[in-house]
Amino acid sequence: MRAKTPTEVTEVHGRLSRRALLLGGTMLAFMTGLGFRMRHLQLDQADQYRLLAEENRINIRLIPPARGEIFDRNGIVLARNEPSYRVTLVPEDAGDVDAVIDKLATLVELDPKELDRAVTEMRRSPPFLPVTIADRVSWDELSRVAVNTPALPGITPEVGLSRYYPLRGDMAHVLGYVGPVSDYDLSKIDNPDQLLRIPRFQIGKVGLEGRMEDDLRGVAGTKRVEVNAVGRIMRELDRREGEQGDDIQLTIDQGLQSYAQARLGEESAAAVVMDCETGDLLAVASAPTFDPNLFVEGISVADYGELTGNDHRPLAAKSVQGTYPPGSTFKMITALAALEEGIIGYDDTVYCPGHMEISNRRFHCWKRGGHGQMNLAQAIRESCDVYFYDIALQVGIDKMSEVAAKFGIGVKFDLPLSGVARGLNPSRDWKSSVRGEDWVVGDTANASIGQGFVLASPLQLAVMTARLATGKAVPPRLVKSINGVEQPIAEAPRLDISPTHLAEVQRGMYAVSNHRRGTAYSKRIIEDEFRMAGKTGTSQVRNITAAERARGVTRNEDLPWNRRDHGLFVNYAPFENPKIAVAVVVEHGSGSKAATPIGRDITLQALYGGTPPLSAYPTKDRNSIKIQQEELEKLVPGREITRRNRA
């Protein structure tokens, strides 16, 4: 190969240099292009991308608010939030999960079912998310775990809030209960609160907890947290506190309520105590009862089966949901209808031979031999059926139905409780439209003594009694204040009933309890200040055939439980200056004698604001009452009761 001349060398190198400069120029142009692209991204679109970066890193978490607490009229806590302790595990931090769980099992009792659930959850969720290993552990267990955390990698003892009902069964039917939110709950609500998406968030299911959910729940707080690309929380940026739920104060008097529950005991029964003037419900008891705390975390199938399988239906709030033929407690309505129509005078008498023929059917009086001549007050006092058949046939169902409605029969009261019953105030229209039959006189006769179609709840009977006592259309009231704001008491209008007529009926009711021949005389109050007026009632749950009657009426106690008569008693006291109205229904109690003493005892308890002295009772009852009081005192006190400590 020949050597190149310097000219050639220069020429060749010159071409290389030109191309090198061209290449360099291209490179610099490209880099300038990159610079402009940077400018475009970083300066022109900076705001937009800054926003996207913030959206990326910031996640909003909800802080569940504390649920509003519920107090009785004296500030005693009925429902509160308790710290609920649980133990969580972060699988990623634990390393050997099985070893950590084994170690934990020596400190805390682990539920195998809960553990299975936790293991499944761990498999599904990313390893940095905490999984609950043990729920509702005791404080002792939690502190044992807390002390041992260095030896338990990934384990965190946590504190949350859970509903607790310190009075257990005593308030169950009023408060209802909360429970973990279910898919069914969510399906009922349009556009549900984000809070409800929190797993196991507690929501009011029934009763006051359910009906006043919106007040009690509160507003969720939020915290903004910085998360990384896989969703792990790096730090909290800021938080906006939510609002805790509204505290609700009820008109219920916890002492009286607990007493009423205990007094009803294991009977299938209900009792309502109402303030005659304000309509405040002081006690709304239903027995037997159940522990609402069972429902808070989700009730077990076994416990639930036990409650639903019981023929005394503990889950039913009989005081507001149960409807019963009012029996003789309805007779005041019949009497007032006749008085208002001007059909009878106070001293007009009806002769009671023990029965009455109405359209070829024989209607019996409860007293086989008959009462003889009866005027109004006597008929109420001795509960003479024939007297009321007679006046009812004269006055007719239309007027009776009109008066019954004024006293709250067939009216659905607007209370924040589940399934408040309307009952039934029958009329011609009702029978033809619902049953497609014409009203017959026999129906009027049945209605006159609170049988047949008439149905009323214990609450309605208490309202009726309060209205009989005051002559005012007192409405029942359950909520005293919300978040410290007193709820107004509606001024009850006077009933469109002549006061003198009412006074005559009241006189009859006074005699029921205070006249030697009154049906409740044996269960009277002898303290003059607190004398009561009342009315007994027995309502049949079956028809008595002519054949049975011929054999002699079967003793109720010999019948199977569910075919025995209901026992009812309504009363108000003190007679001169009515303060409280009481209604008691004992299902299948074999007549009014089951209800009357309960009504009397609850009345005394309410009027004395505690255990009444034995001197208020008739002398011959005092020994048995003393024993009963000692039994009940064992039941009522000693419950954990805390006074309201929040302003």
Partner 1 sequence: MSYLEYNVKHVPSGLRKVLHLNWALLLLITAVAGVGFLMLYSVAGGSFSPWAEPQMKRYALGVFVMFFVAMVPIWFWRSISGFAYLVTLILLVLVEVMGSVGMGAQRWIDLGFMRLQPSELMKITLVMCLAAYYDWLPTEKTSKPLWVLIPVLLIIIPTMLVLRQPDLGTSILLLTGGAIVMFLAGVHWGYFAAVISMVVGLVVAVFQSRGTEWQLLKNYQYRRIDTFLDPSSDPLGAGYHITQSKIALGSGGWTGRGFMQGTQSRLNFLPEKHTDFIFTTLAEEFGYVGAVSLLSLYALIVVFCIASAISNKDRYSSLVILGISGAFFLFFAVNMSMVMGLAPVVGVPLPLVSYGGSAMLVLMAGFGLVQSAHVHRPRQV
- Residue 168, C-beta contacts closer than 8 angstroms, at least 6 positions apart: 291, 292, 293, 639
Q: Find the catalytic residue in 258, 328, 448, 513.
A: 328
CA separation for the pair 245, 257 (Å, rounded): 25
- Judged by beta carbon, residue 26 or residue 373, the one nearer partner 1 is 26
State in angstroms the smallest separation of the CB of 39 from partner 1: 6
- Judged by beta carbon, residue 37 or residue 368, the one nearer partner 1 is 37
CA atoms within 13 A on the CB side of 557: 2
- Judged by beta carbon, residue 40 or residue 362, the one nearer partner 1 is 40
Q: How far is CA 224 from the centre of its chain?
A: 36
State in angstroms the smallest separation of the CB of 226 from partner 1: 7
State in angstroms the smallest separation of the CB of 194 from partner 1: 23
Catalytic residue status for 138: no
Site of interaction with partner 1 (CB under 8 A): 1, 3-4, 8-9, 12-13, 15-17, 19-21, 23-24, 27-28, 30-31, 34-35, 37-39, 41-43, 45-46, 48-50, 52-54, 56-57, 226-230, 234
Which burial class, exposed, middle or buried, applies to 603 when counting CB atoms under 10 A from its CB (0-12, 13-18, 19+)?
buried
Residue 440, φ and ψ in degrees, nearest 5: -120, 160
State in angstroms the smallest separation of the CB of 223 from partner 1: 17
State in angstroms the smallest separation of the CB of 131 from partner 1: 23
State in angstroms the smallest separation of the CB of 126 from partner 1: 13
CA separation for the pair 331, 325 (Å, rounded): 12
Residue 307 · residue 363 · CB < 8 Å: no
The SS3 call for residue 172 is helix
CA separation for the pair 492, 581 (Å, rounded): 16
The SS3 call for residue 207 is helix
Residue 600 · residue 523 · CB < 8 Å: yes
Helix, strand, coil tally for the chain in percent (to 5): 45, 20, 35
- Judged by beta carbon, residue 102 or residue 236, the one nearer partner 1 is 236
CA separation for the pair 411, 64 (Å, rounded): 39
Q: What do you get for the CA distance between the two ends of the chain, in Å? A: 109
- Judged by beta carbon, residue 13 or residue 646, the one nearer partner 1 is 13
- Judged by beta carbon, residue 1 or residue 301, the one nearer partner 1 is 1
- Judged by beta carbon, residue 38 or residue 147, the one nearer partner 1 is 38
How far is residue 485 from each of residues 174, 246, 480, 482, 491, measured CA to CA in Å? 21, 10, 8, 5, 18
Q: Which residues pair with 201 in a beta bridge?
A: none
CA separation for the pair 58, 77 (Å, rounded): 40
Residue 585, φ and ψ in degrees, nearest 5: -125, 130
Amino acid symbol at 527 = E
Show the tokens assigned to 499: 């006061």
> Which of these, 405, 449, 408, lies nearest to 427 by C-alpha position?
405
State in angstroms the smallest separation of the CB of 18 from partner 1: 10
State in angstroms the smallest separation of the CB of 60 from partner 1: 16
- Judged by beta carbon, residue 23 or residue 159, the one nearer partner 1 is 23
Show which residues are catalytic. 328
